[in-house]
Amino acid sequence: MESALEKKKRKFRALYELLFANYRILNYRISEKLGFRAVSKVLEEAHKYQYIIGPETRKCSHGNTLEYIYFFTAEEPDITYMEYREDPRVIYNAQLYGFCNSLVISKEEIEIEGEILLKGPRSDYYIPFTPDHSFECALQNMQKKIQHFSPHDYTPREFIKTHWNETVKWDEDDEKIYRFLKYDLRKKKGSLIKNQHISKEKINYWFETLDKRCTIHTSFYPETLTKYQSYLSVFDTEYEDFVIEVFSELPASPSFFKVQDKLILIAYYPGKFMNDVYTQTSEILSIPPLEVELLTEGIVKKKQRAMVGRSWKKDL
């Protein structure tokens, strides 16, 4: 018999699938499709406990809306973290534990004090649809994909886009709307019209052109986000789309982007799946040996990984 917790997870999973397909779907349509009586309360609970993050949005990598990323090692990472938290140019920063100790994302190029390992404008983000299966099933699928990979059959799919040599229409009102909706694309438009004095026509145009100027992020975490540890991996590979396909099997939503020619993965794992464990049948049960297979098969030339510690983001 299905437990109350399993019913809740199934309910939020169904809600995620609707939001992923249509981030502005009306509440009454959700009620029609899923039978929820109080859709607002279900949405509130899903967000409060972080089963669902988003729908959010981020700017695409056009020449006039670029964001700059820095991976570096600071001499005093605690002090560095607090300093960048107060920097008005910085959108996001985090402490890392691994190949470097600091990450900064800025809305303009900045001077970094420390040893920079990787820097540059970021690409667009890519957020895949999250499959409905267990971590054990995901790891088995990932292993099978790696074992059956053939370089001769590889065809790039261009999951990740870049627009560095293009510009897009983006004015002061676009920026105001973006900041208001960045972390919740389902917010009501009324306060933008009333408080920001932006016309309804302008707001409607912003939504109509959103997919050409921004990426949309709707993520699902079946155990709630706080039950996972966040890891950031940097891959040097000639088969980036295959690597993306492999990690898109994860049942807790990952995200991908590029800096220079390096593929960046932000993934969320339960702690036990970061232990280096094999069964007696050599079936992979965790992430580290799976990454080793990517290296030994020549799919990835080099990888670096760091655990994400505390982080800070702004409405910029």
pLDDT digits (tens, 9 = 90+) for 160-204: 999 999 999 999 999 999 999 999 999 988 888 888 889 999 999
pLDDT tens track for 205-216: 999 999 999 999
Token pair 């994860």 is found at 250
| Per-residue model confidence (pLDDT) at position 189 | 85
pLDDT tens track for 214-229: 999 999 999 999 999 9
| Per-residue model confidence (pLDDT) at position 51 | 98
C-alpha 50: how far from its chain's center? 14
Tokens read off for 268:
């969320």
Confidence of residue 262 (pLDDT cuts 50, 70, 90): very high
For residue 285, pLDDT beyond 90: no
- Given a contact cutoff of 8 angstroms between Cβ atoms, the answer to whether 185 and 179 are in contact is no
- Beta strand 255-259 with 229-237 is unpaired
**DSSP code string of the chain:** ---HHHHHHHHHHHHHHHHHH-TT--HHHHHHHH--S-HHHHHHHHHHTTSEEEEEEEE--BTTS--EEEEEE-SSHHHHHHHHHT-TTEEEEEEEEES-SEEEEESS-----SEEEEEEEB---B-PPPPSS-HHHHHHHHHHHHHT--GGG------S--BTT------HHHHHHHHHHTT-TTS-SHHHHHHS---HHHHHHHHHTHHHHEEEEEEE-TT-GGGSEEEEEEEEES-HHHHHHHHTT-SS--EEEEETTEEEEEEEE-GGGGS--B-TT--B-SHHHHHHHHHHTTSEEEEEEEEEEEEEE---
Q: Which residues contact 266 (CB under 8 A, 6 or more apart)?
A: 230, 231, 232, 254, 255, 256, 308
